[in-house]
Chains A and B, each alone.
Chain A
Amino acid sequence: NAGVMQNPRHLVRRRGQEARLRCSPMKGHSHVYWYRQLPEEGLKFMVYLQKENIIDESGMPKERFSAEFPKEGPSILRIQQVVRGDSAAYFCASSPVATGELFFGEGSRLTVL
């Protein structure tokens, strides 16, 4: 049973470009969480999704950021018109139940030049 898969592991973008980060949860997990880790800070919640539904996106910036978890395929975190402050590691985690143990991917490190 493969773990949570995130890709790309590393992504470099210039200011103004778009970044797309993908997350395939563990088999049988329908709850997906995205976290951002900024330098010298811990994991900050961004968004919580179930299949085809955004349950809570209160941790996500109102502009430029969006997330989806379609019926088929991975969850995608999309950042439009990236700025340098978006440079961070983005972690995805999945769980079989809403408040269960999280299984993390290895993260996607976004660098904005």
Chain B
Amino acid sequence: ILNVEQSPQSLHVQEGDSTNFTCSFPSSNFYALHWYRWETAKSPEALFVMTLNGDEKKKGRISATLNTKEGYSYLYIKGSQPEDSATYLCAFITPGGGADGLTFGKGTHLIIQP
């Protein structure tokens, strides 16, 4: 069983502030890291698929970085808005797929306060 840790578990941020949170994963046997956004009463939606050490991806006000050598990825949200409130999941992927091939963290629950 692979250990994928996300921190913090929950986060309250004032509207307009920027924030970031972390996904830690094993530094060996890396294939890809996915970030998903999961709004209440909806299904998770992919934000980023990251594969290369040093990758930086951006979608609007949300961006992510990847460090495969030390086993972490950061997700940044600039100028938080109420619609950013969601649980953000990371998933660590190894080449083989299957049970250990795609392991989710427990998520960071982000609440944006107006």
Contacts and interface: CB of A to CB of B under 8 A. Distances in A.
Interface centre among A41, A91, A102 (most CB of B within 10 A): A102
A104 B44 contact: yes
Interface in A91-113: 91, 93, 98-107
A48 B43 contact: no
Range class of the A interface residue count: 20 to 34
A100 B106 CA distance: 20
Contact of A99 (B42, B46, B97, B99): B97
A106 B31 CA distance: 27
Range class of the B interface residue count: 20 to 34
A56 B31 CA distance: 18
Contacts of A33: 102
A102 B98 contact: no
Given A56-B97, A59-B99, A91-B43, A102 B106 contact: no
B25 interface: no
A55 B49 contact: no
A1 interface: no
Interface in A29-83: 31, 33, 35, 41-43, 45, 48, 55-56, 58-59
Given A55-B98, A56-B97, A107-B43, A102 B103 contact: no
Interface in B45-67: 45-46, 49
B104 interface: yes
B106 A41 contact: yes
Contacts of A4: 43
A58 B49 CA distance: 25
A23 to B, nearest CB: 12
Given A98-B97, A99-B97, A101-B49, A42 B105 contact: yes
Interface of B: 31-32, 34, 36, 42-46, 49, 89, 91, 93, 95, 97-99, 101-107
Interface of A: 4, 31, 33, 35, 41-43, 45, 48, 55-56, 58-59, 91, 93, 98-107
